[in-house]
Amino acid sequence: MEDTLRVFVVVVCLFLECNGSYFTDLISTFSLDPSNPPTGAKKVPGPPGGKIEALKFTPDAPPIYLSGPTAANLITTVHNSKDLTFYTEFMMPRALDKDEVWEFFSLQGGSQEILFSIGLMKRSDAGGPIEDGNSAKGNLKQILYISQYIPKQKGSVEHIYIMKDEFKPGQWYKLLVRIRTGGKEVKLDEPANIRVRKRREVEKVEAQIRVNCNEVGRIQLKNGPFDDYVPYGFASFGCILEKQNVSSGLKAARRFPGPMIKTQIINGPLAFKFYSPCDADFDKQEIPSEPLANEYSDAKLKEFLALSAAGSYRTSLTCPETDPTRYRGETWRHPTDSCILYRCSNKTKVVEEWICLECKDPKTKKMYREGEKWIDSEDVCKEHECRRKGFKKYAPRTITCRDPPLTKDDCEGLEPVKLQNECCPKCGNETCSLDRKYYMGCKRTCSDGPDFVCPTKKPGCHCPEGYAENEDRLCIKLGNCPCRSGKIVYQPGQTAVRSSCSTCVCIYGKMKCFSRCYG
């Protein structure tokens, strides 16, 4: 096992996103005890322009073996690189129990011994894991741990490296891990033996899988290590855990629906053969959802790989300050204006675009949106509509009136009405608001009182018989008309004492006064 350990050089870069927008370089150096490096190893510089250091091993060591789900998440940083990169996003939907550990990455040696793992665990800020009795000495936090297992003759020694920052539920984080192999051959180990460290029992968890060829890998942790796994494009997370009852008690069974990247890792610049559900030769039965149209391209893949290996780690796959998080290439409509389309550009900037047709009236210069209609400013019998046929806007439409034309018989014995801004005559009632009727009459207001007599009847929209218009220009019953006396308004039936002998009452909009003194 010591020979197996010598094969791999590990460089870990953690880029964590707390706001759904950027990678942030929180840890730039990961050291495996530089004062006491493993046998055959020495410190070497990391990628150019960075602060990362690595350990380099002798070239005659045995191959590295990767577990299936891990292999599904490994990508080459650049085409001429011999490093491996693990990238994913995760969210904790709930707080961990104090004895839970969620492990979502592991690297195995040839004898199935786990050499390297990453996951989430509870830890006291006083230092040390909970099982060491440190929980009483400080506050418990949910942290990311990185474990390295050093094989020994009597088992292995575990070294745990802890992120200082706490990971909170309901928040998306990005994780990018680089593993330097030193150019050694790496093989896919089947069947994979992913261990699940959960010190109570393993709950049954299920997977829901969606496929979108435009995006990169995303997982969501729900009620267990790997519940909702959502592969996008050419990266995926491939582990589903199920609880099984066996004679010795509960154990975790791993079901792997198939990697989105099928790894064929050999010495040389092209370390992987990439598969996608968008490819014609991808086995559809490896995932339970149907692939979308073929949108995969080498250009998209190279772009993502270049992002992973970028010298500046403040590189984003999402547009900042969007809620919910929007990925590059994603489009969405304005919540209240469907004509405004937003797009997360390749430079991760939100671009606003007007997608509706606009028409300009050459006479009035007024602008109209697609679907709007308006009457010609010079000819009320011409109607315009803002719409296109192919690439041309429609010409004005001539409005045609009914044939035969309206007559008195159609309009309750009254002449049809032709409004100033309308082409065709209408029956009077069609021109009135809901509280009025069209008939031969007069305008009547509450101030006219109960004894009002129409001097000259004219056709028009009037309040119905028994109604009058109040100060708000609404038709109300005569009995509900208020009375005004100077600046004072009296409600129907309300009285006012004018003198020791006179009392007035509001009736039908007028104050009627009565004498209380006789003789």
Would you list the DSSP string of 403-434?
Answer: SSPP-GGGGTTS--B--TT-SS-B-GGGGS-T
| 369 in any annotated domain | yes
Position 137 scores a pLDDT of 57
- Same domain? 274 vs 170: yes
Residues 81-105: pLDDT tens digits?
344 445 455 556 567 776 666 665 5
- Same domain? 209 vs 259: yes
- Same domain? 390 vs 449: no
- What single string gives the DSSP state of each residue in 148-209? EEEEETTEEEEEEEE-SSPP-TT-EEEEEEEEE-TT--EEE-SS------BSS---------
Rounded Cα distance, 428 and 426, in Å: 6
Residues 317-365: pLDDT tens digits?
567 677 776 766 678 888 888 888 888 876 667 888 888 888 888 888 8
SS3 assignment, position 37: coil
Q: Which residue has the tokens 């671009």?
A: 351
DSSP 8-class letter at 388? E
Looking at per-residue pLDDT, the higher value among 467 and 459 belongs to: 467
Instruction: State the CATH number of the domain containing residue 426.
Output: 2.10.25.10
Position 301 scores a pLDDT of 42
- Same domain? 364 vs 246: no
- Same domain? 227 vs 271: yes
| 443 in any annotated domain | yes
- Same domain? 431 vs 392: no
Q: What is the dihedral of CA 331, 334, 340, 344, to 10 degrees?
A: -30
Residues 51-60: pLDDT tens digits?
434 444 444 4
- Same domain? 369 vs 279: no
Nearest to 273 by CA among 210, 193, 188: 188
Residues 101-132: pLDDT tens digits?
666 555 544 344 455 666 777 777 665 544 44
| 47 in any annotated domain | yes
| 230 in any annotated domain | yes
- Same domain? 446 vs 379: no
Of the segments 16-30, 175-189, 199-213, which one has the largest average pLDDT value?
175-189
Cβ(105)–Cβ(117) below 8 Å: yes
| 374 in any annotated domain | yes
Q: Is the Cα torsion angle 146, 152, 64, 285 positive or negative in sign?
A: negative
| 505 in any annotated domain | no
- Same domain? 366 vs 444: no
| 499 in any annotated domain | no
Quick one: which H or E segment has residue 488?
strand 488-490
- Same domain? 393 vs 438: no
Instruction: State the CATH number of the domain containing residue 100.
Output: 2.60.120.200
**What is the residue range of 209's domain?**
20-125+140-185+201-286+296-305
Position 172 scores a pLDDT of 60
Position 157 scores a pLDDT of 63
- Same domain? 119 vs 64: yes
Domain final residue, candidates 369, 398, 427: 398
**Cis peptide upstream of residue 191 (ω within 30 degrees of 0):** yes
The tally of domains found in the chain comes to 3
| 334 in any annotated domain | no
Across 465-477, average pLDDT: 90
Pairing relationship of beta strands 64-66 and 186-188 according to DSSP bridges? parallel
Rg (CA), the chain: 40
- Same domain? 363 vs 434: no
Position 449 scores a pLDDT of 83
Say which amino acid occupies 319.
C
Nearest to 226 by CA among 249, 253, 263: 253
